[in-house]
Structure 1
């Protein structure tokens, strides 16, 4: 009788031992999930509205700065419902970016502003893709302070320059070209202590172009990439990684969208609400009536350790 009573215990132990490796493998293979929150179509009547290529969102998700590829910057308030979904974006101010002499930048080669990053002290950094450069703005209504331009940047192909721009909590400005020059990796340029250096690269893919970047509240770099398929439309991808002095580590793909799922997403902002890290992306409508300005938000659900 005692042997029969022991059988369920033995059987349970065997099942646990058999399931153990499978459970461990499942835990090792756990991946973060992307929870879709909402898409807001943003419209305003101003002639300079549209063409948004960069976005920054405040730490509490209530304020925004956006930049267009025609050298305009605007800022304002984000209104949300009780579930945290965007109800409206209200512009509170806007300015045409200036050169270092205080002259308004015209659309085109000199005014092709693409990347936006804001330091913890409020200093604004903008990357330009026509004449490849990065400028600092202490006041969006004031003249630019150009950062030095490395000789290597002259080799970048026109319209394939710096769309992605980010800044770390330590004040390092990071940028990378839209296209991987060798088709395999994106060189990361870092501005630190008054000088640019190219300390490492990010693995790339010839099908994907780097169009936006931001440092998240977790200290990791988030990279927004685009795949343009001509008549089939746009696809988007978001990757994140830890940055070390020797290069990126733990690179993971968080999101890959379907063709025509969203418009031409070019700007990305990463922040945190009470439930986790959020990603806010904005589309560039190229000032075309067949496109639209979309603000798309996701929340990252990381696996429990």
Structure 2
């Protein structure tokens, strides 16, 4: 299925009400926790995997009391590049397939790789011709897998015309194709993506003012071609939120769990924050 559509004229609505639901700071030493750019959560909201922009990969559990975040336990390792050497950079997006394999998107050399397992040497999925035009530090930042197995990815920075192109690769394989184009909101850039239990595509976006970060989450109903902003934080409320996981809690509410990239900077933290959509 090729959407070949634009949401340029689709109005933004504000039907959802996001409520802050918790925050923890993640510290660790094996490997050093930093640069975390993506996170995926199991349906229980506890088990997770996370990825850094230097090829570090963690599995662990979020600890909760009454549904509220209280702590984290995790173990880490490094992934491999296509040539079998240890990865050391530019990994940004993460998506888990039903068969247990995982996909990663990359920035400096725009591509999406498939890992049969975390200790496997990855295989390529092809490249869209347009990816050659992407800036090396603004390429494929966000990655998500749809309920039908299709992959969606979008670059951090918009195209030359100021619009974001969302690329799709069908669950049966095949080439990457432009699926839809999105208008830019302010100076926000794309940092993360996930499909929620409602089947909608959620996009995490970030704006940097020079002193602090503002984040927002855009929800796109692909079946009706409608979009809405379901969360926008105040400037400086959180750090550099880059990873997004969307799930449904035991009360039936959709939760947005996000992780901040600390850029390996001593004044920034790797924080995990959570909001509930009411």
Is the TM value for this pair above 0.5?
yes
Q: Match for residue 180 of structure 1?
A: 158
| Superposition TM-score, scaled by structure 2 size | 0.91
Aligned pairs for 1:102-141 within 5 A = 102-106=84-88, 111-141=89-119
Q: Distance in 2 between matches of 1:289 and 1:66?
A: 20
Q: Is the 8 A contact 2:30 2:77 kept in 1?
A: no
Q: Distance in 1 between matches of 2:110 and 2:219?
A: 25
| Superposition TM-score, scaled by structure 1 size | 0.83
1:64 to 36, 48, 66: 48
Aligned pairs for 1:122-201 within 5 A = 122-192=100-170, 193-201=173-181
Q: Is the 8 A contact 2:43 2:247 kept in 1?
A: yes
Q: Distance in 2 between matches of 1:285 and 1:293?
A: 5
| Greater percentage in helix | 1
User: Is structure 2 residue 68 aligned with structure 1 residue 85?
Assistant: yes
Q: Distance in 1 between matches of 2:249 and 2:186?
A: 34
Instruction: Could you list the structure 1 runs, at least 4 aligned residues long, displaced by more than 6 angstroms after superposition.
Output: none
Gaps of 5+ in 1: 1-28
Give the 3 Å change call, closer, same or farther, for CA 224–288 of structure 1 in structure 2: same
Q: Is the 8 A contact 2:56 2:79 kept in 1?
A: yes
Q: Match for residue 189 of structure 2?
A: 209
Give the 3 Å change call, closer, same or farther, for CA 237–263 of structure 1 in structure 2: same
Q: What is the aligned length? A: 263
User: Is structure 2 residue 260 aligned with structure 1 residue 283?
Assistant: yes
Q: Distance in 2 between matches of 1:253 and 1:229?
A: 20
Q: Distance in 1 between matches of 2:146 and 2:187?
A: 28
What value does the CA root-mean-square deviation take over the aligned residues? 1.5
Q: Match for residue 241 of structure 1?
A: 220
Q: Match for residue 5 of structure 1?
A: none
